[in-house]
Chain A
Amino acid sequence: MKRTRKKTMSKTIVNVILAFICLIWLIPTAGLLVSSFRPAVDILQTGWWTVFPHRDYVTQSTITLPKETDLRQPIEVNGEVFDDDQLRIGVTAQDGSRLIWENRRARTIQVQQPDWKVNSNFTLDNYNGVLTGKTFEIMQSDGTVRAQKGEGLSKAFLNTLVVTIPATIIPILIATFAAYAFAWLRFPLRRSMFVAVIMMLVVPLQVALIPILKDYTALGLNGSYLGIWIAHTGFGLPLTIYFMYTFISQLPKDLFESAFMDGASNFTIFTRLILPLSVPAIASIGIFQFLWVWNDYLVSLVFIGSQPDVQVMSMRIAAMVGSRGSDWHLLTAAAFVSMLMPLTVFFALQKYFVRGLLGGSVKG
C-alpha cells in the first residue's frame, strides 16, 4: 500500500517535471506562431503573450484640456498638477487611475484603470505580405501609413521544392545502387572503397566547398539547379550509402539466389526485389535527407550565391533578418512559411523519421 502510494507520487513528480520541460520547448515556436498572425503595430508594441488575458491599463474616459494649454508649464488635470514628460510615459493620479496623453496636439488625455484585457487582433496580412510581391500599406504606431513591398516568397518556396525533391531522390537512388553492390556483388577495391565512405561520414563539408566552387565556376554550374542537386547529392551520399548498406546487407540471401537461378539479371533483381523491399529504409532516410536539404543554408549560400531566380527560402529569410531585422510581422510569417513543409513532413512521418535516426546515427 505504502509502496504504491510512493510510486504514484514519483510518477506525478516525473509528469510535472516533464510537462515543464515540454512547455519550455514549445514556447519559442508557439510565440512565433502567435506573432505571425498579429498586426504589425501590435507586435512592435506588446508581447505576443498579451493575447492571453492579463492585467493591463484599459482606457475608461478621455479628458480634453483647453486648447491653449502650454505644454512647457505644469499642467493641471482634475485638480492635480503634472508636467509634459510625466504624461508622456503615463502617471498615476491620486485616485489610482493612470493618466497618459492620447494626442498631445489635440490636448486629450486618457484616463486608464487596471483591468483584465485580451489583445485579440489577428490578421492574415503578414502572410499576404511575405507570399506575394504586391505593395502593402501598413498603419504605423504614430498613425501614419507606410507603403511596403511584399517579399514574394512563393517563388522561393517553389525553388526550394525544385531543389529539394531531386536532391532527396537522386542521392537515395545512387546510394541504393551502390549499397547493393557493396553488399551483394564482389569486385576489386570493394573493402577500401567502403571504408572511405565510412570516413567521409564525418568530413566537414566546409573542407570541400572551395574546390567544388572552383570546378562549378569552370563548368558554369554556379547558380543552376543541377549544380545544387549535385552538391547535395555528394554531401548526402556517405550517410545514405551507409544506411542503405546496413539495411540491404541484412536481407536474406536465398531471396536473390532463387531469382538468379531463374536467370534474373542484377538490374532486374535490383529494381524488382531490392527497391520494393527497401521501401521502409528508403522512407526513413528520405525524410532525413528531405529535411536536411530543405533546411540547408550554407550549401545554397555558396552555390547559389546571389542569383535571385534560384534563391531558396532559407536564403531569403536570412537576407530579411539582415535587412529587416525589426520587421517582426514579416519575419515571423516568413519563418512560419518555411517551417510549414518540414513540420508537416515531420508530424506525418514521424515514425519513419525516428527509424531513420536509429539506422545511421552519424551525419557528416
Chain B
Amino acid sequence: MLASTPKTSKSRNVAVTLAVVLVNAIIHSGIYLFLRDTNLPSVLYALLAIIWGVLGVYSIYWSFNWAVEQYSDIWKRRIQPFIFVGPAALLLGWLLLIPTLRTLYMSLMDAGTEKFVGLSNYAAIFTNRLLLTALRNNLIWVAFGATACIILGLLIAVLADRSSFEKLAKGIIFMPMAISFVAAGVIWKFIYFYKPGDEQIGLLNAIVVAFGGEAQAFTSMLQPWNNLFLVAILIWMQTGFAMVLFSAALKGVPEDMLEAARIDGAGEIRIFRSIIIPAISGTILSVSTTIVVFTLKIFDVVMVMTGGQYDTEVVATQFYRQFFMYRNAGYGATLAIVLLIAVIPVIIINLRQFRKQGGF
C-alpha cells in the first residue's frame, strides 16, 4: 500500500468502491426479483427468504468494509465509522425522520394532499364529533389504563416480594405480555360474549346471571363504560411489564435502610411511603412514561374488539380509518401529528433522564 503513489491508489479506490456497490446492487436485486416471481414450494421459499434476509445484510457490511480497507489509513479512519453507522442512519432517516416531516407537511393539506389548507385540518379535528370522541377515549385509556397498570404493577411487585411463590406469580402475571393483541382480543371477546337468555357462554355474563343480574352486551351497549371494558384488556396485558421493572427496583432498595426503619418502629405503610417510593422514583417515572406512550398509541385492541364502533374509537383507529377508508390523508396525517404532540413531553423527560444517567 505504501509503495503505490497516492494518485493511482485513489482512482483504484474509486473503482473498487463502485464495483462493490454495483455487485451488491445486482446480486440483491437479482435475488429479490427471483424470490418475487418464483413459484417454489412454500417451505423452501421461506427458507431461502430467511437465509437471504439475514446473510444479505451481513454481506453488505462485509463487502463495504472490505472496500474501505483498501483505502489509505487516514481515509479509512474517516470513512469506516460511517460504514458501521450508515445503514442505521439511512433507515432511521428514511423510515422515521423524513416521514415525520412529510406527515407534518401533509397535515396542512386537504384530503387528497393537493391543496394547502393551513391549520384547518387541526380546527376540523377539534370540532368533529367522531374525532373528539377518539380524543376523549384516548384520555380515558391513559387515565384509567396507564394508571391501573402502574398501581397494580407496583402492588403485585410488593406482594410477590413477600410471598412464598414469587417466581410462579410473576410468570403468571407477566405471561400476557407474550400474547398478541389480536389473540387477546379473541380471549376477551369470549369473556364478554353476550347472548340473550339465561345460559351464557361468556364468563362475565355467566357470573352476572349467577348473581341474579341480567346479561349485558358489555362492549357495545353500555356507552361510554364499554371503553373501560376494553381498557381492562390493556391492564391485563401490561401490568406484568410494570411489575417486572418495579420488582427489579424493589430488590435494589438497600435492606439495612428498611431494617433501620423497622427498628425505629415505622409501620409497613409508612416504610413504603417514605423509603420505598422515593428509592424507586426513577423507575416509576420511566415505567409511567413507557406505558403512557404505549397507551396513547393503542390500536389493535379496539380494532379487534369493536372495530371502533359504539363510540370506542381512539386516535390510532381513527387515523387508520381516515386514511384507508375515507381516503382523507389530511385528517389522517393531522391525527398522527396530534399523537406526536401528545408524546413531546415524554420525549423531553426521556432526554433529561438520559443526560442524568450520564450518557454522552
Contact = CB atoms under 8 A, between A and B. Distances in A.
Interface stretch (B15-23, B125-133, B284-292): B284-292
21 contacts: A47-B200, A49-B206, A174-B87, A178-B88, A180-B84, A182-B85, A185-B81, A187-B85, A193-B89, A204-B296, A207-B336, A210-B103, A211-B99, A211-B102, A230-B91, A241-B88, A295-B178, A339-B179, A342-B178, A343-B178, A358-B244
Contacts of A18: 156, 159-160, 163, 165, 169
Contacts of B160: 18
Nearest to B88: A178
Given A11-B164, A235-B96, A314-B180, 14 more contacts: A11-B163, A18-B163, A44-B201, A161-B46, A162-B49, A165-B53, A178-B88, A185-B80, A203-B340, A210-B106, A237-B92, A238-B92, A298-B316, A361-B287
B186 A297 contact: no
Contact of A158 (B43, B159, B179): B43
Interface string B24-68: 000000001001100000110110011001100110011001000
A332 B186 contact: yes
B179 A170 contact: no
B290 A362 contact: yes
A208 interface: yes
A47 B92 contact: no
B118 interface: no
B303 interface: yes
A331 B186 contact: yes
Interface string A290-315: 01001111100110000000000010
Contact of B304 (A231, A318, A343): A318
Nearest to A199: B347
Interface in B330-360: 332-333, 335-337, 339-340, 343, 346-347, 350-351, 354, 359-360
Interface in A229-261: 229-231, 233-235, 237-238, 241, 245-246
7 residue pairs, one from A and one from B, having the closest CB atoms? A234-B95, A166-B53, A295-B180, A178-B88, A346-B178, A208-B99, A187-B81
Contacts of A332: 186, 190
A49 B346 CA distance: 44
Contacts of B290: 361-363
Q: Say whether chain A's binding surface is mostly helix, strand, loop, or mixed.
A: helix
Contacts, number: 339
A237 B307 CA distance: 30
Interface string A161-204: 11001100110011101101110011100110111111111111
Interface string A65-109: 000000000000000000000000000000000000000000000
Contacts of B106: 210-211
Interface in A40-56: 43-49
B102 A185 contact: no
B208 interface: no
A35 interface: yes
Interface of A: 10-11, 14-15, 17-19, 21-22, 25-29, 31-32, 35, 43-49, 155, 158-159, 161-162, 165-166, 169-170, 173-175, 177-178, 180-182, 185-187, 190-191, 193-212, 215, 224-226, 229-231, 233-235, 237-238, 241, 245-246, 265-267, 270, 291, 294-298, 301-302, 314, 317-318, 321-322, 325, 328, 331-332, 334-336, 338-339, 342-343, 345-347, 350, 354, 357-358, 361-364
Contact of A170 (B54, B245, B347): B54
Contact of B187 (A29, A44, A158): A29
A22 B170 CA distance: 9
B142 interface: no
A364 B36 CA distance: 31
Contact of A200 (B35, B92, B176): B92
A187 B336 contact: no
B257 interface: no
A266 B185 CA distance: 48
B339 A158 contact: no
A197 B85 CA distance: 12
Contacts of B248: 354, 358
A22 B169 contact: yes
